[in-house]
Amino acid sequence: MTTLSFHVGFLRSLLLVCIVSVCVFAEVDPIVIKGSHFFYKTNGSEFLFRGVGYQDQRNNDDQSFIDPLANVAKWCQRDIPKLQGISVNVIRVDNLDAGLDHAGCMEALADAGIYVLVRLLPYYLIKNQIYYDTASYNYSMAIIDNMAKYTNTLGFYTPQKWTRDSDLPSAPMTKALIRDAKQYMSSKSLREIPVGTISDTFSTITPEHYIDDTLDFLSCDSVHSDFFGVRLDNLTCPPGSWIEAQAERFADASMPVILLSQGCNKEANANDTTNYPLETVYSNRPPSALSGSVFYEYFNSSQGPGLCTPKQGAEDEVVEEDVYKGLSSAMKSLSISTLNAAQYTPPASKTTACPTPRVAWTVPGATLPPSPNQSVCSCMMQTLDCVGSPVVMAQLAQPDKLTTYYRLACGDDFQGCPGTILNATLGEYGAFSACAQVERFSWDIDYWSKHNSFSQGDCKIKGYIDPANGNLSDYDGAMKKQTPSVNLNAECKFLLEQAGVNGTGTITNYDFARATSSTNPTNTGNPSNQNSNQKSSLSIGAKAGIGLGAAAAVILTLLLVLFILHRKKQARKAQTFENPELPADNTGASMAEKYRYQELGLENVAEMEHPPAEAPTGLNPEQPVELHGDAAVAELEQRERFSSVGTPR
């Protein structure tokens, strides 16, 4: 019985370990792209976006945005049932804090079968930006580090619109970020997470060729977007017929195309489900159809009605708006048709020519801004006589002031500052154009001071910007004097030689160590994209699986050792009772008799009813004894006691 109990306990422990291991390793099936469609990686069925924008914008404060995935109890657990009520399988999140933990929400969303589409650059960071710089790069890569470990991170996207200044096209910066994000994930051996683009707002007045040029630009050359999100103008509420026309326009796209901001947030039309061309997107779909849509917006905001509104005074509850009820009913009535990856053959790949500049589209060719690299910027700063004050940059952090500053310092066409020039229209980018604002500010002032007749070389330049109001003044505190380094290290010399005089060159090789190595001199990767402090890129399930696997191995080893010891102990006991060669004082009979007397006690043995019969002399102990009643039994027991243990006390 003891052995059986041990075996059962051992098997239960082993089963428990196996079950827990399976639970930890279980993750949602990642989404992959084949041709112009999304598919589940493992089972090959098509993934159609049934999404919703998930970003609380009620405070309208871009600098203190709310991270919707940072509070699993207050947000995710509250909202997931509502998302399931409208058949949502993906949410679009615009603003995340890369320094916060999102594991709780991501796991809760994964349990509900919901994926996440993450914006790399939050609006608050780029609304004042006209450059793709180290700040943009570092923030975006931090977002990737934070979210890539979750298998329900469907993809990352870059916004097409970076600035309010219409004279500064940002499509090249968008594509440069896609390039660097892919290189970064590859350098860290992360899974291939799609990186795409969401367009500027398209409406019925958008020139048709602009939409075509946008898609062509994202598809051309060696760097391309993995998917394209068409942002609809939900303020003018384009009719369903216009949206259907756009679906036909993208029928031959080489990448998946999804509709963004579906719906209408005009109060008068918010509940009009005719603005949701659901049949066009989800039913009776040809192989070249759209890949779904993302509705605008889950939260009610000042910009218009949303699907749900947090309850006043009790934010652990949300109130369903009428548009939620209408959308829920419409989604449930749909008959959705999908493809299977095994049955889908993408059209033959073709080389897309980059669009040529014309009215509305001013981006030339495929020239992209350089990859941000902090080593380049740090080396450049060591060569300057005048450096800008970070305090000034903080005071200039307004769109109109920054734009005014750059145009006053470098001219209306930005040609006056060759090292930091960023002219997407001409495809010209200075070697230091990807440096941070204060570094560009420093280079511009230093260059301007050396080539301006008002300068006396003391970094007290009159007629510059007053950081208090952005106007020209005699403000002297915008810069400070420093002594340039005369002993640049070898890496700085290597980089700045490529940058050329006044930053007009192009840096093509960032890796000084490899470039100067005799074993591998040709690698030109950007060290900013290949972090020297490589962090683990394993997913949360993989890390947990490794830890649990190690623990399980230890537990199984201990259980196995205990099992072996237990079996050895049982074998020793059996040997003790069965081995006839043991000494007489330690025989099995002696031990059995000892324990029997301990259990029964001699005082409890009843007297025999019949006197013992005389045992015949010369009885062979090996000869069978014929039993005759109780007397014979008693006689046999007594003889055995005398022969094995001697006279009882």
Report pTM: 0.74
- Considering only CA atoms, which of 505, 150, 522, 212 is closest in space to residue 359? 212
301 has a pLDDT exceeding 90: no
Residues 6+ apart with CB under 8 A from 271: 322, 323, 326
* pLDDT at res. 414: 60
552 has a pLDDT exceeding 70: no
CA distance 402 to 406: 6
Q: Which range, of 196-200, 344-348, 356-360, 365-369, averages the lowest pLDDT?
A: 356-360
387 has a pLDDT exceeding 90: no
CA 601 to chain centre: 74
Q: What is the mean pLDDT of the chain?
A: 74
pLDDT in tens, 223-233: 999 999 988 87
Residues 6+ apart with CB under 8 A from 377: 134, 432, 434, 435, 436, 439
* pLDDT at res. 445: 80
Higher per-residue confidence, 300 vs 538? 300
253 has a pLDDT exceeding 50: yes
* pLDDT at res. 493: 96
CA distance 318 to 326: 17
Q: Which range, of 56-60, 268-272, 375-379, 528-532, averages the lowest pLDDT?
A: 528-532
Could you tell me the sign of the dihedral formed by the alpha carbons of 522, 527, 530, 533, in that order? Answer: positive
Q: What does DSSP assign to residue 635?
A: H
Residues 6+ apart with CB under 8 A from 49: 38, 89, 90, 258, 291, 292, 293, 294
352 has a pLDDT exceeding 80: no
pLDDT in tens, 401-431: 666 666 666 776 667 889 998 877 778 899 9
- CA dihedral defined by 450, 456, 460, 466, rounded to 10 degrees? -70
How much helix, strand and coil, in percent to the nearest 5, is found in the chain? 40, 15, 45
CA distance 507 to 499: 6
Six-digit token string for 66: 């709310």
Give, in order, the Cα–Cα distances in Å from 465 to each of 422, 459, 506, 521, 623: 21, 14, 30, 46, 124
Cβ atoms of 339 and 287 within 8 Å: the answer is: yes
Most confident of the following: 142-156, 315-329, 442-456, 595-609: 142-156
Buried b (16+ CB within 10 A) or exposed e, 100-120: eebebbbbbbbebebbbbbbb
Q: What mean pLDDT is predicted for residues 479-487?
A: 87
Six-digit token string for 378: 């740090």
* pLDDT at res. 245: 80
Q: What mean pLDDT is predicted for residues 393-399?
A: 60
Six-digit token string for 209: 């060729």
